[in-house]
Amino acid sequence: MTMSTDPEHISCRVHGKASAAYVCGHLTENPIQRWVCAYPSDGDPWPDAWCSRCEEAFLREGEWNEKNESGTNLKVLCSHCYERMKGESVNRLVEGKLELWRSLVEECQRELRRKQDDLSDRYALWRHKRWDWNQDRGEIVFSNDGVPAVIAKMEFVGSVSTKSNTWLWSWGNSHTLDCVRSRISAVRDFGEAKDFPHLLVPKWVAAEVDGWEMTAVAVHVLGAEGAYRTPYDGGFTHMALSDVRFAQ
């Protein structure tokens, strides 16, 4: 299967002109399954993807060739359709696996509530008048009347868009600096080990509560002291906090 990574464009009936993405036909027929592909990067934001069945054919040959290419039924999607369909794959968990995922989320939420209560007791974190974060320094500063009160290291977890109703992991967001997403890949690694797609798919349909749930899991995996959420025009940015300390 020859899949181009050139910055091609196609005309989508729904989204108009958009970048082209390449997937096997089985994923377009049923996107709610495991997508085998690389993680997005600045140079390849919509990496070629195929299903587990095609992955087996690839592994048998060790490459794409005339013996296994035809079975992929290669399809070209626009980048927006690609993201939407890939996002649907988070719904592939069923029965016992789904129960394990829900149990983990609930456990992490309880842990986060305890940590948030501790931050509130020790630093009155939610009572300060102002916050300012700086990606270059990887810090957030809480202050009152221009006087810094509390400083913390921050790791961007992800963001919830209230316009598109989606969650986007920071490791899949090219607009986020590396210095504030240097550790979040550990959450993705945890997701791979447990096969939890919500931790592996960069962008998927979500509500505000999902942002807090993913942040709770991230705080647990990273061993962070707590979390904070800041608003932006059209949504919220979630971050994990560590090295929380008084400014003076």
- The tens-digit pLDDT sequence of the chain (248 residues) is 334 344 588 999 999 999 999 999 999 999 999 999 999 998 899 999 999 999 999 999 999 898 888 889 999 999 999 999 999 999 999 999 999 999 999 999 999 999 999 999 999 999 999 999 999 999 999 999 999 999 999 999 999 999 999 999 999 998 999 999 999 999 999 999 999 999 999 999 999 999 999 999 999 999 999 999 999 999 999 999 999 999 98
Residues 214 and 240 placed together within one structural domain of the fold: yes
Report the distance separating Cα 138 and Cα 140, nearest Å: 7
Which domain does 38 fall in, by range? 9-91
DSSP string, 5-38: -S--EEEETTTEEEEEEEE-HHHHH--SS--EEP
Closest CA to 167 of 122, 218, 224: 218
Predicted TM-score of the model (pTM): 0.93
Closest CA to 46 of 8, 91, 90, 88: 8
Residues 87 and 100 placed together within one structural domain of the fold: no
Phi, psi of 191 (to 5 degrees): -65, -40
- Output the six-digit token pair for 116: 């948030």
- The tens digit of pLDDT for each residue in 184-200 reads 999 999 999 999 999 99
Domain end, chosen from 91, 107, 128, is at: 91
Residues 102 and 66 placed together within one structural domain of the fold: no
Residues 140 and 70 placed together within one structural domain of the fold: no
Residues 231 and 156 placed together within one structural domain of the fold: yes
Residues 15 and 117 placed together within one structural domain of the fold: no
> Mind spelling out the 3-state secondary structure of 106-162?
HHHHHHHHHHHHHHHHHHCHHHCCEEEEECCCCEEEEEECCEEEEEEEEEEEEEEEC
- The tens digit of pLDDT for each residue in 28-77 reads 999 999 999 999 998 899 999 999 999 999 999 999 898 888 889 999 99
Report the distance separating Cα 135 and Cα 74, nearest Å: 40
- Residue 4 falls inside a structural domain: no
Encode burial over 13-22: b for 16+ CB neighbours within 10 A, e otherwise.
eeeeebbbbb
